[in-house]
Structure 1
Amino acid sequence: MTSIEECEAAIRNLSSRVAELDEHSRRKHLVERSISVAVPDLEVVFDMRLTSQGISEATTRDAEVSSPPAQVRITVSSTDLVALSEERLDPRKAVLTGRVRLDASFTDLMRMRKLI
Protein backbone atom coordinates (compact mmCIF):
# COMPACT_ATOMS: atom_id res chain seq x y z
CA MET A 1 0.00 0.00 0.00
CA THR A 2 1.27 3.46 -0.88
CA SER A 3 0.55 6.76 0.85
CA ILE A 4 -1.89 9.52 -0.02
CA GLU A 5 1.07 11.72 -0.94
CA GLU A 6 2.35 9.09 -3.39
CA CYS A 7 -1.11 8.89 -4.95
CA GLU A 8 -1.23 12.69 -5.26
CA ALA A 9 2.16 12.57 -7.00
CA ALA A 10 0.82 9.85 -9.31
CA ILE A 11 -2.14 12.06 -10.26
CA ARG A 12 0.24 14.96 -10.98
CA ASN A 13 2.31 12.59 -13.14
CA LEU A 14 -0.79 11.50 -15.06
CA SER A 15 -1.74 15.15 -15.55
CA SER A 16 1.71 15.86 -16.99
CA ARG A 17 1.32 12.96 -19.40
CA VAL A 18 -2.00 14.35 -20.62
CA ALA A 19 -0.41 17.77 -21.11
CA GLU A 20 2.40 16.16 -23.15
CA LEU A 21 -0.05 14.75 -25.72
CA ASP A 22 -0.12 16.67 -28.97
CA GLU A 23 -2.75 19.38 -29.03
CA HIS A 24 -4.73 17.74 -31.84
CA SER A 25 -5.16 14.51 -29.84
CA ARG A 26 -6.18 16.40 -26.72
CA ARG A 27 -8.80 18.45 -28.56
CA LYS A 28 -10.13 15.40 -30.37
CA HIS A 29 -10.39 13.01 -27.42
CA LEU A 30 -10.58 15.13 -24.28
CA VAL A 31 -13.76 16.80 -23.21
CA GLU A 32 -13.88 18.54 -19.87
CA ARG A 33 -15.16 16.06 -17.31
CA SER A 34 -15.40 15.72 -13.56
CA ILE A 35 -13.47 12.69 -12.34
CA SER A 36 -13.33 10.90 -9.03
CA VAL A 37 -10.68 8.33 -8.23
CA ALA A 38 -11.66 6.15 -5.27
CA VAL A 39 -8.77 4.44 -3.52
CA PRO A 40 -10.41 1.95 -1.16
CA ASP A 41 -7.25 0.77 0.61
CA LEU A 42 -6.55 4.36 1.74
CA GLU A 43 -10.26 5.18 2.24
CA VAL A 44 -9.92 8.38 0.19
CA VAL A 45 -11.34 9.81 -3.01
CA PHE A 46 -9.52 12.24 -5.28
CA ASP A 47 -11.92 14.62 -7.05
CA MET A 48 -10.69 16.60 -10.06
CA ARG A 49 -11.50 18.03 -13.47
CA LEU A 50 -9.98 16.72 -16.67
CA THR A 51 -9.41 19.45 -19.24
CA SER A 52 -7.44 19.67 -22.47
CA GLN A 53 -4.57 21.10 -20.39
CA GLY A 54 -4.51 18.19 -17.95
CA ILE A 55 -5.97 17.65 -14.51
CA SER A 56 -7.05 20.63 -12.44
CA GLU A 57 -8.91 21.37 -9.22
CA ALA A 58 -7.67 18.15 -7.60
CA THR A 59 -8.87 17.69 -4.04
CA THR A 60 -8.81 14.83 -1.58
CA ARG A 61 -11.68 13.77 0.64
CA ASP A 62 -12.46 10.95 3.01
CA ALA A 63 -14.31 8.14 1.22
CA GLU A 64 -17.19 8.43 3.67
CA VAL A 65 -17.82 12.10 2.80
CA SER A 66 -20.40 12.28 0.06
CA SER A 67 -20.05 14.42 -3.02
CA PRO A 68 -22.06 14.83 -6.22
CA PRO A 69 -21.24 11.92 -8.55
CA ALA A 70 -18.48 12.61 -11.04
CA GLN A 71 -19.01 12.04 -14.75
CA VAL A 72 -16.14 9.53 -14.74
CA ARG A 73 -15.60 7.36 -11.66
CA ILE A 74 -12.49 5.23 -11.25
CA THR A 75 -11.80 2.75 -8.47
CA VAL A 76 -8.22 1.57 -8.09
CA SER A 77 -5.85 0.48 -5.33
CA SER A 78 -3.14 2.91 -4.28
CA THR A 79 -0.41 0.59 -5.55
CA ASP A 80 -2.07 0.21 -8.95
CA LEU A 81 -2.64 3.97 -9.23
CA VAL A 82 1.07 4.59 -8.77
CA ALA A 83 1.95 1.74 -11.16
CA LEU A 84 -0.36 3.20 -13.81
CA SER A 85 1.21 6.63 -13.48
CA GLU A 86 4.71 5.15 -13.81
CA GLU A 87 3.60 3.06 -16.83
CA ARG A 88 4.45 -0.19 -15.02
CA LEU A 89 0.82 -1.35 -15.36
CA ASP A 90 -0.97 -1.45 -18.70
CA PRO A 91 -4.29 0.44 -18.35
CA ARG A 92 -6.20 -1.80 -20.74
CA LYS A 93 -5.05 -4.95 -18.99
CA ALA A 94 -5.83 -3.41 -15.61
CA VAL A 95 -9.40 -2.66 -16.67
CA LEU A 96 -9.91 -6.07 -18.29
CA THR A 97 -8.62 -7.91 -15.23
CA GLY A 98 -10.67 -5.81 -12.79
CA ARG A 99 -7.73 -4.09 -11.13
CA VAL A 100 -9.21 -0.77 -12.29
CA ARG A 101 -12.95 -0.19 -12.40
CA LEU A 102 -14.33 2.52 -14.68
CA ASP A 103 -17.85 3.90 -14.41
CA ALA A 104 -18.64 6.38 -17.17
CA SER A 105 -20.93 6.95 -20.10
CA PHE A 106 -20.31 4.88 -23.20
CA THR A 107 -19.06 8.00 -25.04
CA ASP A 108 -16.57 8.79 -22.28
CA LEU A 109 -15.35 5.19 -22.24
CA MET A 110 -14.72 5.31 -25.99
CA ARG A 111 -12.80 8.58 -25.66
CA MET A 112 -10.66 7.18 -22.85
CA ARG A 113 -9.98 4.02 -24.83
CA LYS A 114 -8.43 6.10 -27.61
CA LEU A 115 -6.14 7.85 -25.13
CA ILE A 116 -4.85 4.73 -23.41
Structure 2
Amino acid sequence: MASVDECRQALHDLAARLDANADRVRDRVDLDRTLACRITDLRTAFHGRLRDGRLLDLADGDDPKAKVALSTTSDDLLALVRGELDVPKALAARRISISANPFDLLKLRKLL
Protein backbone atom coordinates (compact mmCIF):
# COMPACT_ATOMS: atom_id res chain seq x y z
CA MET A 1 0.00 0.00 0.00
CA ALA A 2 1.34 3.42 -0.99
CA SER A 3 1.46 6.25 1.54
CA VAL A 4 -0.54 9.48 1.55
CA ASP A 5 2.63 11.37 0.63
CA GLU A 6 3.25 9.09 -2.37
CA CYS A 7 -0.32 9.65 -3.55
CA ARG A 8 0.01 13.41 -3.12
CA GLN A 9 3.27 13.38 -5.09
CA ALA A 10 1.70 11.25 -7.83
CA LEU A 11 -1.11 13.78 -8.24
CA HIS A 12 1.40 16.64 -8.39
CA ASP A 13 3.38 14.69 -11.02
CA LEU A 14 0.16 14.22 -13.00
CA ALA A 15 -0.59 17.93 -12.71
CA ALA A 16 2.89 18.77 -14.03
CA ARG A 17 2.46 16.40 -16.97
CA LEU A 18 -0.95 17.83 -17.83
CA ASP A 19 0.45 21.34 -17.55
CA ALA A 20 3.24 20.50 -19.98
CA ASN A 21 0.67 19.31 -22.54
CA ALA A 22 -2.07 21.87 -21.84
CA ASP A 23 -1.45 23.93 -24.97
CA ARG A 24 -1.96 20.85 -27.11
CA VAL A 25 -5.21 19.69 -25.46
CA ARG A 26 -6.78 23.00 -24.46
CA ASP A 27 -8.76 23.32 -27.69
CA ARG A 28 -9.96 19.71 -27.55
CA VAL A 29 -10.92 19.63 -23.87
CA ASP A 30 -13.24 22.46 -22.91
CA LEU A 31 -13.69 21.52 -19.27
CA ASP A 32 -13.79 23.48 -16.03
CA ARG A 33 -14.83 21.20 -13.19
CA THR A 34 -14.01 20.56 -9.56
CA LEU A 35 -12.30 17.23 -8.95
CA ALA A 36 -12.08 14.91 -5.95
CA CYS A 37 -9.66 12.00 -5.83
CA ARG A 38 -10.65 9.56 -3.11
CA ILE A 39 -8.09 6.99 -1.97
CA THR A 40 -10.18 4.19 -0.54
CA ASP A 41 -7.56 2.11 1.26
CA LEU A 42 -6.03 5.14 2.99
CA ARG A 43 -9.39 6.75 3.76
CA THR A 44 -8.13 10.06 2.50
CA ALA A 45 -8.84 12.35 -0.42
CA PHE A 46 -7.47 15.22 -2.45
CA HIS A 47 -9.28 17.86 -4.44
CA GLY A 48 -8.53 20.35 -7.16
CA ARG A 49 -9.89 21.75 -10.39
CA LEU A 50 -9.66 20.55 -13.98
CA ARG A 51 -9.47 23.57 -16.26
CA ASP A 52 -8.25 23.86 -19.85
CA GLY A 53 -6.49 20.50 -19.75
CA ARG A 54 -4.73 21.32 -16.47
CA LEU A 55 -5.07 20.04 -12.92
CA LEU A 56 -4.98 23.09 -10.67
CA ASP A 57 -5.20 24.00 -6.98
CA LEU A 58 -4.45 20.53 -5.63
CA ALA A 59 -5.04 20.28 -1.90
CA ASP A 60 -5.62 17.69 0.78
CA GLY A 61 -9.17 16.79 1.73
CA ASP A 62 -12.35 15.77 -0.01
CA ASP A 63 -14.74 17.96 -1.94
CA PRO A 64 -18.14 16.32 -1.53
CA LYS A 65 -19.59 18.70 -4.14
CA ALA A 66 -16.95 17.90 -6.78
CA LYS A 67 -18.37 17.53 -10.28
CA VAL A 68 -15.83 14.80 -11.10
CA ALA A 69 -14.86 12.18 -8.52
CA LEU A 70 -12.24 9.47 -8.95
CA SER A 71 -12.11 6.63 -6.40
CA THR A 72 -9.32 4.08 -6.30
CA THR A 73 -6.72 2.47 -4.06
CA SER A 74 -3.36 4.07 -3.39
CA ASP A 75 -1.44 1.48 -5.43
CA ASP A 76 -3.79 1.79 -8.38
CA LEU A 77 -3.51 5.60 -8.30
CA LEU A 78 0.27 5.34 -8.54
CA ALA A 79 -0.01 2.78 -11.36
CA LEU A 80 -2.45 5.04 -13.25
CA VAL A 81 -0.19 8.07 -12.98
CA ARG A 82 2.85 6.06 -14.06
CA GLY A 83 0.96 4.76 -17.08
CA GLU A 84 1.13 1.16 -15.85
CA LEU A 85 -2.65 0.80 -15.52
CA ASP A 86 -4.89 1.33 -18.52
CA VAL A 87 -7.89 3.52 -17.62
CA PRO A 88 -10.55 1.69 -19.67
CA LYS A 89 -9.37 -1.69 -18.38
CA ALA A 90 -9.21 -0.40 -14.80
CA LEU A 91 -12.75 0.93 -15.12
CA ALA A 92 -13.99 -2.36 -16.53
CA ALA A 93 -12.28 -4.29 -13.74
CA ARG A 94 -13.69 -1.85 -11.15
CA ARG A 95 -10.23 -0.96 -9.92
CA ILE A 96 -11.19 2.68 -10.36
CA SER A 97 -14.49 4.48 -10.56
CA ILE A 98 -15.16 7.88 -12.04
CA SER A 99 -18.32 9.72 -11.17
CA ALA A 100 -19.25 12.56 -13.52
CA ASN A 101 -22.04 13.51 -15.84
CA PRO A 102 -21.93 11.66 -19.19
CA PHE A 103 -20.88 14.73 -21.18
CA ASP A 104 -17.95 15.36 -18.85
CA LEU A 105 -16.91 11.71 -19.14
CA LEU A 106 -16.74 12.08 -22.91
CA LYS A 107 -14.50 15.14 -22.52
CA LEU A 108 -12.34 13.41 -19.91
CA ARG A 109 -11.62 10.57 -22.33
CA LYS A 110 -9.52 13.02 -24.35
CA LEU A 111 -7.28 13.60 -21.32
CA LEU A 112 -6.94 9.90 -20.56
Q: Normalising by the residue count of structure 2, what TM-score does the alignment of the two structures yield?
A: 0.90
Report the alpha carbon displacement of residue 81 of structure 1 after superposing the two structures with TM: 0.4
Structure 2 residue aligned with 1:102, among 98, 101, 109?
Answer: 98
Percentage of pairs with the same residue: 29
**Pairwise CA RMSD of aligned residues?**
1.6
Aligned letter for 2:14? L
Aligned partner of 1:2 in structure 2 is: 2
Report the alpha carbon displacement of residue 114 of structure 1 after superposing the two structures with TM: 2.1
Query: Structure 1 residues 100, 52: CA separation in 2 closer, same or farther (over 3 Å shift)?
Result: same
2:26 is equivalent to residue 26 of structure 1: yes
Aligned letter for 1:76? T
Report the alpha carbon displacement of residue 115 of structure 1 after superposing the two structures with TM: 2.1
Contact 2:22 2:53 in 1 (8 A): no
Structure 1 gap ranges (5+): none
Report the alpha carbon displacement of residue 104 of structure 1 after superposing the two structures with TM: 0.1
Aligned letter for 2:3? S
Alpha-carbon distance in 1 for matches of 2:30, 2:75: 26
Q: Normalising by the residue count of structure 1, what TM-score does the alignment of the two structures yield?
A: 0.87
Contact 1:19 1:52 in 2 (8 A): no
Structure 2 gap ranges (5+): none
Alpha-carbon distance in 2 for matches of 1:18, 1:30: 14
Instruction: Give the alignment of 1:12-91 within 5 angstroms.
Output: 12-21=12-21, 23-52=23-52, 54-61=54-61, 67-91=63-87
- Per-residue CA deviation, residues 57-80 of structure 1 (Å, 9 max, x unaligned), is 21112x6xxx44100011010000
